[in-house]
Amino acid sequence: MEEHNNDREEIFSERVRAGKRTYFFDVKATRSNDYYLTITESKRRYKEDGFVYEKHKIFLYKEDFHKFVDALNKTVGHVKDELMPEVDFSQFDRESDETQIDSELKWD
Q: Is the pLDDT of residue 8 over 70?
A: no
Distance between CA 17 and CA 77 in Å, rounded?
Answer: 22
Lowest model confidence (mean pLDDT) among 3-7, 26-30, 92-96: 3-7
27 is a domain residue: yes
Asked whether residue 76 is assigned to any structural domain, the reply reads yes
Compute the C-alpha angle 93/24/40, nearest 5°. 120
Is residue 2 one of the residues assigned to a domain? no
Torsional sign, CA 48, 51, 52, 57: positive
Half-sphere exposure of 39 (CA within 13 A, CB side): 7
Q: How far apart are CA 20 and CA 85, in angstroms?
A: 26
Q: What is the pLDDT of residues 11-47, one digit of tens each?
A: 999 999 988 899 999 999 999 989 999 999 999 888 8
The answer to whether residue 100 sits within a structural domain is no
Higher pLDDT, 9 or 69: 69
Q: Give per-residue pLDDT as tens, 46-91.
A: 888 888 889 999 999 999 999 999 999 999 999 999 999 999 998 8
Long-range Cβ contacts of 27-34 (<8 Å, 24+ apart): 34/62
Range(s) of the domain holding residue 73:
10-92
Q: Is residue 24 domain-resident?
A: yes
Cα-to-chain-centroid distance, residue 33: 22
In a domain? residue 102? no
Return the higher-pLDDT residue of 95 and 57. Answer: 57
pLDDT computed for residue 98 by the predictor: 46
Query: What is the reported pLDDT for 36?
Result: 96
* 19 falls within a domain: yes
CA 15/CA 101 separation, integer angstroms: 10
4 within some domain: no
What CATH number should be reported for the domain holding residue 30?
A: 3.10.450.700
Number of domains, the chain? 1
